Amino acid sequence: MLRSLVRSSLKNPKWNPKPIIAIPQSPLQSHFSTKSGKSSASKGNKNKTDVQKPNKNPKRSGLDDSKNAVSDTKETTDERVLRARLLAQDEKNPSLNAGPNGRPLFTDTSSLSQLSRKDTCSYFKFGEKELNQMLPEGLPTGMVKEFEESMRSALLVRQSFLDLRDNFRRIVDPPLLSSDGKGLKVRKQIVLDGPVNCGKSIMLAMLVHWAREEGWLVFYVPRGREWTHGGYFYKNPITGLWDTPIQAENALKDFVKYNESLLKQLPCHIFDPVPLGEGAGIGLLKGVDSVSVPESSTLYDLVQIGIEQTHAAVGVVVRLRKELSLVKDIPVLFAIDQYNNWFTFSEYEEPATMRSCRPVHARELAMVNAFRSMMHNSMMVGAFSHSTAVGKLRKDLPDVPLDARVNLPRYSLDEAAAVCHYYHRQRLLPREAFSEESWKKIYYLSNGNGAEMRVLLPLMQ
pLDDT tens for each residue of 260-284: 999 999 999 999 999 999 988 888 8
What mean pLDDT is predicted for residues 199-205? 96
**Confidence at residue 191, expressed as pLDDT on a 0 to 100 scale:** 96
Residue 439 makes CB contacts below 8 A (sequence gap 6+) with: 416, 417, 420, 457, 460
Q: How remote is the C-alpha of 325 from its chain's centroid?
A: 22
Return the minimum-mean-pLDDT range out of 1-10, 70-79, 206-215. Answer: 1-10
What mean pLDDT is predicted for residues 180-202? 85
- Residues paired with 105 in a beta bridge: none
**∠ at Cα 452 (449, 455), nearest 5°?**
150
Please say whether the beta carbons of 318 and 280 come within 8 A: no
What mean pLDDT is predicted for residues 152-168? 96
Which segments of 276-352 does DSSP mark as H helices, in order?
299-308, 313-324
Q: Residue 332: phi, psi to the nearest 5?
A: -120, 130
Please say whether the beta carbons of 123 and 154 come within 8 A: yes
**Confidence at residue 184, expressed as pLDDT on a 0 to 100 scale:** 61
What is the SS3 assignment for 235? strand
Identify residue 432 by its one-letter amino acid code: E
Higher pLDDT among residues 447 and 73, named by residue: 447
- Burial (CB < 10 A; 0-12, 13-18, 19+), residue 188, is middle
Distance between CA 391 and CA 381 in Å, rounded?
20
pLDDT tens for each residue of 12-25: 444 444 443 333 34
Distance between CA 226 and CA 223 in Å, rounded?
6
> Residue 58: pLDDT above 60?
no
Read off the pLDDT band of 180 (50, 70, 90).
low
Note the pTM of the prediction, 2 decimals. Answer: 0.83
pLDDT tens for each residue of 312-368: 999 999 999 999 999 999 999 999 999 999 999 999 999 999 999 999 999 999 999
> Residue 72: pLDDT above 80?
no
Q: Residue 432: phi, psi to the nearest 5?
A: -70, -20
Pairing, β 231-235 against β 154-156: unpaired
> Residue 8: pLDDT above 60?
no
Return the minimum-mean-pLDDT range out of 23-27, 97-101, 359-363, 438-442. Answer: 23-27
Read off the pLDDT band of 62 (50, 70, 90).
very low
What mean pLDDT is predicted for residues 142-156? 95
Neighbours of 406 (CB within 10 A): 17
> Residue 129: pLDDT above 60?
yes
2-28 burial: b if 16+ Cβ within 10 Å, else e: eeeeeeeeeeeeeeeeeeeeeeeeeee
Read off the pLDDT band of 177 (50, 70, 90).
low
**Confidence at residue 45, expressed as pLDDT on a 0 to 100 scale:** 43
What is the SS3 assignment for 194? coil
What mean pLDDT is predicted for residues 136-151? 95
> Chain-wide mean pLDDT for the chain?
85
Distance between CA 252 and CA 309 in Å, rounded?
12
Read off the pLDDT band of 389 (50, 70, 90).
low
Identify residue 53 by its one-letter amino acid code: K
Please say whether the beta carbons of 127 and 153 come within 8 A: yes
Q: Residue 233: phi, psi to the nearest 5?
A: -150, 140
pLDDT tens for each residue of 209-241: 999 999 999 999 999 999 999 999 999 999 999
pLDDT tens for each residue of 162-176: 999 999 999 998 875
Picking from 292, 322, 334, the residue whose alpha carbon sits closest to that of residue 309 is 292
Read off the pLDDT band of 30 (50, 70, 90).
low
What is the SS3 assignment for 358? strand
Strand order through the sheet with 231-235:
31-33, 231-235, 242-243
Element (H, E) at 361: strand 357-361
Pairing, β 345-351 against β 332-337: unpaired
Q: What percent of the chain has pLDDT over 90?
A: 70
Residue 178 makes CB contacts below 8 A (sequence gap 6+) with: 162, 163, 166, 167, 170, 184
DSSP one-letter string for 44-100: TTPPPPPPPPPPS-TTS-HHHHHHHHHHHHHHHHHHHHHHHHHHHHHTT-GGGGB-G
**Confidence at residue 387, expressed as pLDDT on a 0 to 100 scale:** 73
